[in-house]
Amino acid sequence: MSEPVDEHPLEQAEDLLRRRLHGRVWELRVLLREGGVILQGQALSYYVKQLSQHIAMEELRLTVVANEIEVRCFQPAQESVGGDPG
């Protein structure tokens, strides 16, 4: 059985969501607000956006007051390592 929200600091909740979502939400953040939490980030599909909310509510026992995960048609570019691309 999942532990109640007061035993999960927000950083742990973010980490657990990231692991369960296998990198399918970028820039994932869980913000504490009156009455619950807000999910933020970017995903490639509405399915992943809803999956994020489901995991937060059912497995982490969080009250999600808003799901602000944006659905994008592209994956954010990774920063290049080591210099000028041109």
Please report where in the chains the tokens 């950083």 appear, as a residue: 11
The string of DSSP codes covering 11-48 is HHHHHHHHHHHTT-EEEEEEEEETTEEEEEEEES-HHH
More confident residue, 9 or 8: 9
Inform me whether the pLDDT recorded for 2 exceeds 90.
Answer: no
> Which domain, by its residues, includes 60?
5-71
The helix (run of H) or strand (run of E) holding residue 64 is: strand 64-71
Q: Is residue 86 part of a domain?
A: no
Where residue 3 falls among pLDDT bands split at 50, 70, 90?
very low
Helix 10-21 × helix 46-54 angle, to 10°: 130
pTM given for the model:
0.75
Q: For residues 46 and 31, what is the distance between their CA atoms, to the nearest angstrom?
A: 20
Number of domains in the chain: 1
| Domain at 48, CATH number | 3.30.1340
Would you state the structure tokens that stand for residue 33, as one six-digit string? 């607000």
Inform me whether the pLDDT recorded for 53 exceeds 60.
Answer: yes
